[in-house]
Structure 1
């Protein structure tokens, strides 16, 4: 009697390929399982809200020292909106979220777990795209919570002096949305920088330079410098939260500032997704 054997299949040959939503779920599990990630989010949220609330409380505390004319011009000048989300708070959130986004990439490279990830899913671009989706979604929710809480808390404090504004006040909703979107945009930028450099210290230095130093270097003194400055995230945020017309020799539009947000986000996402292709881990 002749016995025939079926050819052995390769391990995993009959297993279905990972679908994109499976990759997203896996990246979400990775993120939520890291206690340090949530500690970073919590510390950043407390720092940002504290900056804003502290500024509003300072106004509340020294309100009696203001003259009648200063009190009358307070709301008209848009100062309640300036205190709803201050420039210092924006800088803190930008730097922190840039670092958090970078860690989402360089954390796996530094521990070597990225090799196991790419071995399990050779489609590197799909893996990186899933990371970008998860980071963007989480940081968008984070930004919305922090910006909304900052606005509500600061206006509640100022309301004690009848100096608060509502979300329906001209420019208020734009301020909240622009401040909230700083979180996901900076996180994706941090991811892109981390995916290119892949070293912790160098990535953090590059993130600080790109996110914070460049907007300070470029000033409104020359046309070319003003245009270059307008292309940075921080200056785009300043334009979006500004009350009234731009006070500069080289003014630009609200639409231009939103375009800067979109270009940074899309460029960073594409760079983060494509940089892992055909590179050693």
Structure 2
């Protein structure tokens, strides 16, 4: 790939998705964009680059962006955040929201929906405690293809074997050939929509709990700060933000602070884990 073409594609991707690619990742760009070139009946990446420069085709730009977006996900990924959610965050916020009996949860960069559906399974288990509550789970992703997959709730044998306890599979999924579909009851608990984290988040409304895990690692420092500050505007003081194990707010923004004793959990200062233990 020509250096000027790599620079053009990497600039485009950073503008549209926040993704930062260094030149040592040229092989990744080539392997993921060649299928896009073929889809658009182009001979190769040079023709693809020329086309991007000479005409603004939103469908083509979308295909390029989606091809480079990492869509790695699994049910109950890393487990600890879900234990925190069940044993600490949910009880604390239910106590704090006892008067209005309402909770909104956001799974940002939700990929094909496993994180959001994992949360729905936990909430289903806690249904007796949540009787009379209005619970909303919203999953968003930049990829239209991933959003449609998430809405369908259909997963391969490999996908349901990654992190999903067999009891949950039997309880919540129906097998259809070599695929599994999550129950309609759980699909109705989650709404999915296409959304760019770099865009205006205000239309999504306020959220008590935000899962934005393993997303910031792909951004540079200014973009991380921008995204975190945008998220903070959509949360109350005692709202809870989840980041991935390799991510932090330290040195990036002062909008969030780590929740003491709870790795990966952040708040704007109004949430306390005092006295709580997570197994």
TM range (shorter): under 0.3
Name which one, 1 or 2, has greater alpha-carbon Rg: 1
Q: Identify the structure with the greater helix proportion.
A: 1
TM-score between the two structures when normalised by the length of structure 2 = 0.25
TM-score between the two structures when normalised by the length of structure 1 = 0.24
Q: Which has the higher contact order (CA 8 A, sep 6+)?
A: 1
